[in-house]
Amino acid sequence: MSAGTLYLIPVPLGPVSPDACLPPETLAVTRRLEHFVVERAKTARAHLKAMGHPQPLQSLHLEELNEHTPAAAIPPLLVPLKAGHDVGLLSEAGCPAVADPGAALVMAAHRENIPVVPLIGPSSILLALMASGLGGQRFAFHGYLPAKEPERSQAIRELEKTARRDHATQLFIETPYRSAALLDALATTLASNTLISIGADLSLPSQLIQTRSAGNWRGQTDAVKDRLVVFGIAA
């Protein structure tokens, strides 16, 4: 028996209709699957319901994979794939396996020669980079910066040095409750002419995308308060 295929299924970045950000083929694949590996079952069921899955949600097979999942629990998640079933991998928002614990399952699938197929959908990181006006030829994504000082300011200075040395855009993300504090730290730590781009609530009705110098961001932190933000800097 041949193995099933692991489909990497993007989901909306917020409370919008899946039809607004996912192509028909992504929705069609999702609707025919019965096995899923998800970051959180409750959220995944809400996504699958919104995506119009035709089967009763309680009849679907959902296994959780999140930041707390031990490495030893990854191989058992491949059992349906080895039995010939196709499986969908979903994150909480956006693309699975990108700044997401689902990457561990993808690597495990490759080790077992299980086919992996990424489907098209929204990525907050790429949307922010596309709209920033910063260099898209060379860039790096760093996840979350340290939350506390002085580690946060030290990390910001290092990223600025890297941006100058490599001529590469530096991307990172922040949670809604810390985004204003991070923007304030960026604006006050970076050189006044270093560019800061923010992409907040991307693909949602409340979307905000702006690129300014650090000096022009000072005192403007309310712009990102309580929003999930992808930041980009370029020197």
pLDDT, tens digit (0-9, with 9 covering 90-100), for 129-173: 999 999 999 999 999 999 999 999 999 999 999 999 999 999 999
Please name the fold of domain 124-234.
Answer: 3.30.950
Q: Which residue has the higher pLDDT, 2 or 62?
A: 62
Pinpoint the residues of the chain covered by CATH 3.30.950.10: 124-234
pLDDT at 46: 96
φ, ψ dihedrals at 209, nearest 5°:
-135, 120
Q: How far is CA 63 from the centre of its chain?
A: 20
* Residue at 156: amino acid letter: I
Pinpoint the residues of the chain covered by CATH 3.40.1010.10: 6-118
In contact, 136 and 107? CB cutoff 8 Å: no
Is the full-model pTM beyond 0.75?
A: yes
Class of the domain covering 6-118:
alpha beta
* Residue range 82-117, pLDDT digits in tens: 999 999 999 999 999 999 999 999 999 999 999 999
Q: Could you give the count of Cα atoms lying within 13 Å of 189 in the half-sphere of its Cβ? A: 21
